[in-house]
Amino acid sequence: MERNIFQRAVFFFFLTLFCTSIFLVGKVIAPFFASLFLGIVITGVFRPVFRMLAKYMPARIASVFTCLAVFFIVVIPVVFFVGVLSREALGLYNLAKDAVFSNHLINFLESTRVLERINEFLTKANIQTQVSWHELVDPLTEVGKNLGFTLFQQARFLTSNLLNLVFYFCLMLIVVFYMFMDGERFMQYIYDLSPLKDEHDRKLFEKFNDMSGAVLIGNGLGGLIQGGAGGLMFWSLGLNSPFLWGVVMGFLAFLPIVGIGVIMLPVALFFLLKGSLGKCLFIVGFYGVLSWGIEYLFKPKLVGDRVSMHPLVVFFAIIGGLKVYGILGIIYGPLIATLFLTLSDIYFSTFQSMVEPDKGILDSWPDQ
């Protein structure tokens, strides 16, 4: 009896030390968490490239070439993107804060006499509220000004901290290099350390790997195509800041419910009010073909059925991720949702019978 009490005391002492060490290690690596996390995610995405190269050369050389591919595919476009975005965002901010532009827009909208008809309808319906274009345009102008200023501030922050940006990119590439070399041993170490069964650990890892591939490859390329096509359409129609709006549409393309329609449909409405019915129909048709083709042809072909998550869950995961983690929330949000849903599946299949013996195995609705 005393021996059992002593063994328990030793175990709890060890457990306290172990949890303390985990906390301290987490505190040490916290400043570099984004680089570590992105390195692990990018490793999973580029692993097929590494395996293909490893067939023809030593693993170390294959890892170097794969890191070079990551550098040219990811790092250089990001630097170019930040430089152009800062100029476009500043232009949008200056345009939105310009009172002359707002007055011209309001004068144009008043010439359409649409609001007069709406107010007449409200009067006939015994609704006393009268709407003016100033009430509608001023909030939109404020949104445009805040959006342009925020994007400009972020881009200027990145360019002014270029050395830090390069440093964190280098850290990420170091993580990618060693994950290619020792990633399997690292994952096996995590499996051995985890108290869960290896099959559960593998399920978690595979779900994470599939979701990261879906976010970076499926949503990333889909957003790139939609943002690029939308920006080209804006440029061809002679609209201001086509690169900036292309970037905004590229990010909105990650959202499964609203998508690029948040930008495309108001632009179509603008041309309709302007009397350009042909341009309005072209924009609506372009938006429909582009979004339908990406969502129902391109993404399923590229990602397949490996990732199945309810669109509403993905929507709130991305919105919440952006709110909490900033731009990286586009990746963090869906992965956190994946962690929860996978652990829910493990609970239903393994642990529910221990907690609730009378209940059967349930299917989690977000996966349907």
Nearest to 250 by CA among 270, 231, 234, 233: 231
The enclosing H or E element of 20 equals helix 2-29
Distance separating alpha carbons of residues 180 and 45, to the nearest angstrom: 11
Residue with tokens 């919105």: 319
The enclosing H or E element of 313 equals helix 311-325
Q: How many CA atoms lie within 13 A of 175 on its CB side?
A: 20
Distance separating alpha carbons of residues 87 and 89, to the nearest angstrom: 6
* 64 burial via Cβ count (<10 Å: 0-12, 13-18, 19+): middle
Q: What is the reported pLDDT for 343?
A: 83
Cβ atoms of 260 and 252 closer than 8 Å: yes
Spell out the per-residue pLDDT of the chain, length 368, in tens. Answer: 666 777 788 888 888 998 899 899 888 888 888 888 888 888 888 888 888 988 888 888 988 899 888 888 877 777 666 666 666 666 655 655 554 455 555 555 555 555 565 555 555 556 555 555 555 555 555 555 565 556 556 655 555 556 677 788 888 888 889 888 888 888 888 888 888 787 888 888 888 777 777 777 777 888 888 888 988 988 888 877 787 778 778 878 887 777 888 888 888 877 877 778 888 889 889 888 888 888 777 777 766 655 667 778 888 888 888 788 877 788 888 888 888 888 888 888 777 777 677 665 444 444 54
Q: What predicted TM-score, i.e. pTM, was given to this entire model? A: 0.69
Residues 6+ apart with CB under 8 A from 187: 205
Cβ atoms of 260 and 249 closer than 8 Å: yes
Cβ atoms of 328 and 249 closer than 8 Å: no
